[in-house]
Structure 1
Amino acid sequence: MFSVKEAEAIVFNLVQPLDRQRDTEVVDLLSANSRILASPVSSQLDFPHWDNSAMDGYAVRYTDVQQASQEQPVSLEIVEDIPAGYQPQSTIQQGQAARIFTGAVMPTSADTVVMQERTRREDNRVLILAAPTKPQEFVRHRACYYKAGTQLLPAGVRLHGTEIAVLAAAQCTQVSVFRRLRVAIFSTGDELVTPDKPLQPGQIVDSNQYALAALVKQIGAEPLMLGIVPDKPDALEEAIAHAISNADVVLSSGGVSVGDYDYVERIIESLGGEIHIQAVAMKPGKPLTVATFTNQVIYFGLPGNPVSALVTFWRFVQPTIKKISGLAEGWQPKFVKARTRHQLRSDGKRETYFWGQLHLTDGVYEFQVAGGSQNSGNLINIAQTNALAVLLVGQTLISQGEEVQVLLV
């Protein structure tokens, strides 16, 4: 049985990102939300595109106004009004100024903007009542934000609203993104039924498949739901063979412990899979199978207990999917330190996870354990979970108010 850290190292070293040449597609900008950029992007535009004003005011020559004051204002002739989107027609000569608005193009020979609050207009002249603090004040120079031809966005970033805004401004209307990862999901067990069926004595509703599909979709991959597979070797072999032929990642739940009807591992080996992990020293989630196939498919046999399936997904599967999907940074599990609002106890024999909610209170993270039983079969109180508090091996008690390591989910 591997420790959690050992299992993490094995899993993350097994997987490689999608290929930047073979596993990409070109999409339009409106379809790029939440996709991962496959190639660096550059633009032929400078940002700003031209020297422009950062303030409503007057475009002037600094040498004309550097001595201006309330007591000795400088009077300048206004030769042009320049709104945003207008190409200036004048060259500013000595003793002249142009009325200018925020974002408007600077006229030739003007090098400074005096904000309108420091001026007083009188017909076609303006009085400068205070000198600028420096030359080129309130002027945004061409390419001071970005120079055309250089890298605008690197490969491996997930595109959200801010990145799409940048791409739109740069007139990059189509981008190369990694294809969506295909994740096959099925549940095993004769006792399972779908949510729409009436329950008979001893039966259990299959919640795992729905939870895992939602989580897979949430991180940008495409779930392929294969349904419930009975505890029969032939049916399991058919399901696993189909899954590894049609997906990049396979998630099964149940059938990976040592019961008489747990056939998953022997079928994986019969199909040519190599098993790397069979159990992890964690609670919940000990019975975890991880295998790979020659076609680079990675297989996770998750525990059947609902909470165990979710905890192992968050700890190992979620970062794996993010890494394979092409995300360059931020795919690793993210931990923070938090103050626990409740006492947390463990026997110290396995790395133990408590589910609950992380809150930010007066600048300090606080962890609130979910009410009710912290039992791997109790799915009800895992609703609204956004974090897992972790007690490491050897830790048996973290008292209320003390610091605990918390995994963000």
Structure 2
Amino acid sequence: MPLSWAEARETAWRAGYEARGAAAELPFDAAAGSALAAPLAAASDLPAFPTSAVDAWAVAGEGPWRITGAASLAGSVPAPMGPGEAVKIATGAQVPEGCEGLIRLEHAEIDGESVTGPAEREWRETGEEAKAGEELLPTGTPISAPVIGLAAAAGHATLPAHPRPSARMVVFGDELLTSGVSREGRVRDSLGPMVPHMLDAAGARVAAEVLGPVADTLDEHVAALRTATAEADLTCTTGGTMVGPVDHLHAALKAVGADYVVNTVSVRPGFPMLLARTAEGRFIAGLPGNPQSAVIAVVTLVVPLLAGLRGLPLPGLRSITLAEHVPGRGPATHLALVDGNGNRLAHHGSAMLRGLANAAGFAVVEPESEAHAGRRVPLATVPGVAS
């Protein structure tokens, strides 16, 4: 029995989350895009010492103040100040011991060797943002660029996170060409060049070499799956998800000892997608051979799976207001290509990519319903596609 589209997303995510690898302290580049596997705490006070918020004169005691000493610059420890003294200080520099106020340069009046003006406490106090040991972010926080910046400022060089899962692409089909134009009954493969970029954008560490095209025999399918799953946490295959005369994927899955996590989804286009898992815990995502259907399988199964494997929550859906009517597809969820203005795109057949190349994503029309112009509906985006 096919799973509903929503249930398939949840099932794929849950399978990934339960199979996520052990967390480790990872360099920032490796941790980016995952989730914190432990709380992030400040390794020191933040800031670690009082720092000027402005370019100014640092002054001590009563004015007017006598200009003395070298300027206090970022990256150095200034000499202590005595009453009646003034030294220049740069934004971000450590405030000298004994300083009682800062006069902004633009507010200062210089008379020979003395300076006057309104003095304020315009500096960040030690620990103003966080005290040493204070929790900054909880477990499960997605590791974004600002999170990495905060971690660095707080004294860290690594973050506790689940590593990027490795992925391998396997392309099935005697009919596929890897160069030139379609000819003599054979067609140019579009999924081998396209899908790895989507996997990378969705958080996988993708092997550069695509395996295939693999010949349409059971032995070759089995050999390809064994090669790929020996190396990768996730293997994505293209084609063979039905039960036609050269569709060997299901038999190959049985031969390598893989069990189904999801076997077909009630969605149009793209329903003959699948997700399986080997006894060793490696995942195999079977994408339909039609390009748009394959992308829908990536959106439905692979993106949630990779999120789970990295300790992230199930990816949320955006929303969009439709500019025109989008029909339903009976008991199946309809994923309809739309542009950023909510217009349904032409060239939206499951074998076509022209519409997808101009799309903001797929408008989600629930089973047994339709969506009229002006209605706001969920939008499933495609990894690697700018929105």
TM-score of the aligned structures, taking structure 1 as reference length: 0.80
Q: Is 1:286 the counterpart of 2:277 in the alignment?
A: no
- Long gaps (5+) in structure 1: 65-73, 359-365
Go from structure 1 to structure 2 and tell me whether the alpha carbon gap of 1:25 and 1:226 turns closer, same or farther (over 3 Å shift): farther
1:83 is the counterpart of 2:94: no
Q: Superposed, which structure 2 residues align to 1:205-284 within 5 Å?
A: 205-224=188-207, 225-284=210-269
Please name the residue that 2:343 is paired with. Answer: 368
1:383 aligns with 2:365: no
Give deviations 1:231-257, integer Å, cap 9, x for gaps.
Answer: 211111222222222221121111111
- Give distance in 2, aligned partners of 1:354 and 1:111: 65
Structure index of larger Rg: 1
How big is the shift at 1:26? 5.7
Higher RCO structure, 1 or 2 (CA under 8 Å, sep 6+): 2
Evaluate the alpha carbon distance shift between residue 116 and residue 190 of structure 1 in structure 2; reply closer, same or farther with a 3 A threshold. closer
- Is 2:115 the partner of 1:141? no
- Find 1:201's aligned residue among 170, 178, 184: 184
Structure 1 pair 342–170 and aligned structure 2 pair: CA distance change class (3 A): same
Higher strand share: 1
Instruction: Specify the SS of the correspondent of 1:102.
Output: coil
Cα separation, partners in 2 of 1:249 and 1:141, compared to 1, 3 Å: same
Q: What secondary structure sits across from 2:8 in the alignment? A: helix
Do the aligned residues in 2 keep the contact of 1:42 with 1:152 (CA within 8 Å)? yes
Give the conservation status (yes or no) of the 8 Å contact 2:275–2:301: no
> TM-score by structure 2 length?
0.84
Distance 1:165 1:275, change over 3 A: closer
Report the residue type matching 1:263 in the other structure: H
Identity %: 23
Which amino acid is the alignment partner of residue 372 of structure 2? I
Task: Give the counterpart letter for 1:378 in structure 2.
Answer: M
1:184 Cα deviation (Å)? 2.2
Post-superposition CA distance 1:45-86 (Å, at most 9, x none): 543232122122333458x5xxxxxxxxx6344444533145
Tell which deviates more after alignment, 33-42 or 10-19.
Answer: 33-42
Paired residue secondary structure (1:187): strand
Q: How does 1:8-407 map to 2 (within 5 A)?
A: 8-15=9-16, 16=18, 18-20=20-22, 32=30, 34=32, 36=34, 44-60=43-59, 64=62, 75-80=64-69, 82-85=71-74, 86-93=76-83, 95-128=84-117, 130=118, 132=120, 137-150=121-134, 162-163=146-147, 165-166=149-150, 172=156, 178-191=162-175, 193-197=176-180, 199-224=182-207, 225-324=210-309, 326-329=310-313, 332-358=314-340, 366-370=341-345, 372-399=346-373, 401-407=374-380
- Distance, in Å, in 2 between the alignment partners of 1:149 and 1:381 is 52
CA shift digits 1:351-402 (9 cap, x unpaired): 11112333xxxxxxx43333x2321011222114332111111222322x33
Q: 1:113 to 1:246 in 2, by over 3 A?
A: same
Following the alignment from structure 2 to structure 1, what is the Cα–Cα distance between the partners of residues 323 and 264?
Answer: 31
Distance 1:334 1:390 in 2: 13
Is contact 2:19-2:281 (8 Å) kept? no
Task: Structure 2 unaligned segments of length 5 or more: list them.
Answer: 383-387
Offset of residue 266 of structure 1: 2.5
Contact 1:32 1:175 in 2 (8 A): no
Q: Per-residue deviation at 1:189? A: 2.5
- Match in the other structure for 1:362: none
Distance 1:232 1:183, change over 3 A: same
